[in-house]
Structure 1
Amino acid sequence: MTIQLPDATGVLRAYEPRATPLALTPGTPFTSRTVYSAAHVVADPYADVSPDSPAAVDWDATLAFRRHLWSHGLGVAEAMDTAQRGMGLDWVGAAELIRRSAAEARSVGGLIACGVGTDQLTAPGASLADIRKAYEEQLALVEEAGARTILMASRALAAAAKGPEDYLDIYAHLLRQSAEPVVLHWLGPMFDPALEGYWGSSDLDAATDTFLDVIAAHPDKVDGIKVSLLDAQREIDIRRRLPQGVRCYTGDDFNYPELIAGDEQGFSHALLGIFDPLGPLAAQAVRVLDTGNTAGFRELLDPTVELSRHLFQTPTRFYKTGVVFLAWLAGHQSHFTMVGGLQSARSLPHFTRAYQLADGLGLFPDPKLAEERMKNLLSLYGVAQ
């Protein structure tokens, strides 16, 4: 059985889907790496909303997907940009997501860390005092929920800060009052253009120095860092400069296999959006790495990079569309509808290539279901089979 798929030029070409998926089953907890998947949210397809409406979330399907990730041993990085934080999911929705997911994590013994930011500041012109208060509010909620904290980059702080000293002051204050060590998240402008010049400079060397100064001043309050700059060498350089005991969680969706595998001077743990669609395969690869078999780990994970680079291609911030598209094809949700209507953010050729790459990797538990759903999507675009 073949399916007619349009290529990048619009020409229909026959494609023969894979008949059987990879055999990927839950296994033992990881021993060599701490691994989080940044998880997407499932929209409520029946809600009467517009792109500007508050998010309408299908809570049952959203939490079921998190149980899927936990069942394979992955941690969940909650209410991050993969969950459309700041791109359809506002703070009210994120707060509810954090409460529900943290409770679900407790019920199943799952690892969870939640994003803390300042996105309740929706009007321009927030002061540094406003930003500090907003961070404090979100930090208190996450700690009350019993989850670990990920201190996310703040659009409001990027707009208000006059220089590195403002970042040093805000982060020092937050780290002093955090109950437990946190993960610091440096999200690059390719993921969010509003974060250009974060840490007080568009010069990455200067920004890196400020970032490391924050950590050096409070190493006991920093569990680790998440670096999302899509620059493997910079991550390695930062990793080698971290104080003893502070982990590096790679957020590099272009170069994750080599960064997780590491080198003679160290390695990265992981907190990745691409581990949403790759969850079971990524988990199996890490278990192979746990045995000391780095070559086997790379053999499993290296072939996934082409799919990841495709999903995260420019404009990178729309990678969430591909992530949710693959979740639909894989049967994790009954529809391809996204918060804020973001399902429209990628083209049919983009979806076609994502389907082929994911199918080739054996990621779909039911290849026939994925094929049928792909045909349904094609029909909406006028592609007859």
Structure 2
Amino acid sequence: MATATGIYHRSYASELKLRSTRAEYLRLGLMVLLLLVLPFILDNYWLSIANTILIAVIGAVGLNILVGYTGQISLGAGGFLAVGAYSSAILSERMGLPAPLAIVAAVILTAVIGTFFGLPGLRLKGLYLAIATLASQVIIEFIIRRWGWLTEGKGYITLDRMNIFGWQLSRDSFEQSWYWILLVLATLAVMGARNLFRTGLGRSFMAVRDQDIAAEAIGVNLTRAKLTAFAVSSGFIGLAGALTAHYNETVTWEAYTLNVSILYLAMIIVGGMGSIAGAVYGAIFMTLLPVLIRTVADVVGPAAPWLSNQLPAIQNAVFGLVIILFLIIEPRGLNRLWERIKEYFRFWPFRY
């Protein structure tokens, strides 16, 4: 035979494997190798961008669980990031809780608050639910801006250098140390989310997305499924917020505005909704896009000085244009483009 005609399974164990072909294992091995060598070949600037990407991956995966897999539109990601960041900072700096325990507590608190704001989702759908989650973003943003107790009237919170049960991160290896921490957490987040949808709970999320009335008819508890989706998604996003706080060592309300919510929503739209891999691709793409725009502006700056002055507006325009192009040309995002590339080489020289 010139090429394989498909992937066939002879046992349930074979069917349940996450990867079935040698090519998939080869790509996985190359990706692992790349991730392991990155901190040795990148300077601190690019490592900081890699660390930002890893944090964004955790948040984007969490948002995709709610929006892409459960079909519950949310514009409140920035607010839940703020809950995770502020709660972790307060618990570690004022109450003396070790940073890892403060992060865990922040994740739980964010999940609880996310569940509370998910209550409107029991009766609302579509645009109405989006407005309800937008209200959560506005409420949380108002609280963190106006409630002086959070920042003791300073408007910001500063954190000490991360200390993990006696192990202090040093300034010389700051980015490298954070890279390994974030790589482990991002890997666990991706693997956890990937396996979540191999369970009955994860499949109930997808059933609610596809048709909630039919899901209820076959025995899915809609209340439990929707609220659990909000809790799990908010927990992931809260983890990203807490890690952002400890990584930046400063917490300010400007980092958790509605623009951040839209950015995370753009990540899963560009990467591909309803796909864990798509959330990863989208986080990488949307984090690197501003870097690319700044690089282009620096190169052409002497010839077009107005470009540097209008850089924020240009970035917003490019973000909007990218989202529109993906919605028109490939609504299923980068993940679908990658799948089509793999299918092309798998079946070449045939068209299908």
Structure with the greater relative contact order (CA < 8 A, sep ≥ 6): 1 or 2? Answer: 2
TM superposition score category, shorter chain reference: under 0.3
Q: TM-score, normalised by structure 1?
A: 0.23
